[in-house]
């Protein structure tokens, strides 16, 4: 097994390649998994291969991802950092809905704790919904009073010991700076990949402050019909030359972006898990890295 580099997620030193539970439930992150036994095997194997950072959410399923994690891994390894997120929910049709009022955030944290069977989570990300990212009357300006109330609920949960750290997701640099005036932030989870670098200012701020940055959709959106990243000619030529998969090349590049980047590639397939975890042993030469970086 490759010994992976680590970076601090709050007080937890975690391997830079963890596991995202989003793909464990059924299609559209809704309902039971296609193969429950394989989902449980994937979780156990991820930990065996060195993943000690698992990202989840109560609304993955809903409930499904957390229930699988508990069945597969409880009692949890001492060094396992389970990170969840709050701010959203699902309706009976699987639609994604906001649930980000302060009392809803608190209830979401408590639901995660109960389903996972723990007294404290390593961190919980406050997921800022797209409609709340900015004040529509002031483009680019965050909705300060609303965000401040949400942060207050998160701080209270941390101070009461329900969570060890506060994270943020789907935010702007302005959100991060605003939050840091009020509390410590241990991680940020934003979309970031070879093609979409719109969160670069957020990543740069996190890097400067030693905050873990967890890119979601590092291989492109799992909900898109076409994937301009894995279908990119340069990515595929590089993968063929190196004897790797396109996904492995892209994940390896993502690790080179900054030392505080933590990957959480998700899968419900054991072979794909093995490929994802093997990325820790892939090194890109400087010329390859430059070419890939220029794709943006």
Partners of 186 in the β-ladder: none
Task: Tokens 């959480």: give the residue.
Answer: 264
| DSSP notation for 185-223 | --EEEEE--SS--TTHHHHHHHHHHT-EEEEESTT--TT
CA R_g for the chain: 18
Alpha-carbon span 248 to 148, nearest angstrom: 39
Alpha-carbon span 94 to 208, nearest angstrom: 38
Task: Tokens 């049709």: give the residue.
Answer: 93
Between vectors from CA 114 to CA 162 and to CA 50, what angle results, nearest 5°? 80
Partners of 61 in the β-ladder: 30
Catalytic residue among 60, 74, 76, 192: 60
**Distant-in-sequence, close-in-space partners of 273: CB < 8 Å, separation ≥ 6:** 19, 42, 45, 46, 49, 267
User: What does the DSSP 8-state code read for residue 18?
Assistant: -
Structure tokens at 78: 């001492």
192 belongs to the catalytic site: no
Partners of 190 in the β-ladder: 215
Which stretches of 74-133 are DSSP H helices?
102-116
Q: What are the catalytic residues?
A: 60
């Amino acid at each position: 097994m490759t010994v992976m580099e680590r970076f601090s997620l709050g007080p937890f030193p975690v391997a830079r390649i963890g596991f995202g539970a989003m793909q464990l439930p059924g299609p559209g992150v809704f309902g039971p998994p296609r193969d429950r036994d394989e989902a449980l095997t994937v979780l156990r194997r991820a930990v065996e291969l060195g993943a000690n950072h698992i990202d989840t959410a109560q609304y993955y399923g809903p409930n499904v991802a957390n229930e699988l994690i508990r069945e597969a891994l409880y009692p949890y390894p001492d060094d396992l950092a389970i990170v969840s997120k709050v701010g959203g929910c699902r309706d009976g049709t699987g639609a994604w809905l906001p649930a980000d009022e302060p009392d809803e955030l608190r209830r979401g944290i408590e639901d995660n704790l109960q389903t996972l069977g723990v007294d404290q989570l390593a961190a919980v990300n406050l997921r800022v919904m797209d409609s709340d990212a900015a004040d529509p009357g002031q483009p680019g300006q965050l909705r300060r009073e609303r965000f401040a109330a949400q942060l207050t609920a998160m701080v209270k949960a941390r101070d009461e010991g329900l969570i060890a750290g506060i994270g943020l997701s789907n935010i702007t640099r302005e959100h991060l700076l605003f939050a840091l005036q009020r509390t410590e932030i241990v991680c940020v989870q934003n979309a970031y990949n070879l093609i979409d670098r719109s969160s670069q200012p957020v990543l740069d701020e996190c890097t400067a402050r030693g905050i873990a940055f967890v890119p979601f959709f590092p291989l492109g959106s799992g909900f898109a019909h076409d994937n301009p990243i894995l279908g990119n000619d340069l990515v595929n030529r590089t993968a063929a030359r190196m004897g790797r998969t396109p996904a492995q090349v892209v994940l390896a590049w993502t690790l080179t972006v900054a030392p505080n980047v933590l990957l959480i590639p998700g899968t419900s397939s054991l072979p794909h898990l093995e490929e994802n975890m093997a990325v820790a042993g892939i090194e890109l030469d400087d010329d390859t890295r430059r070419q890939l970086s220029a794709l943006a």
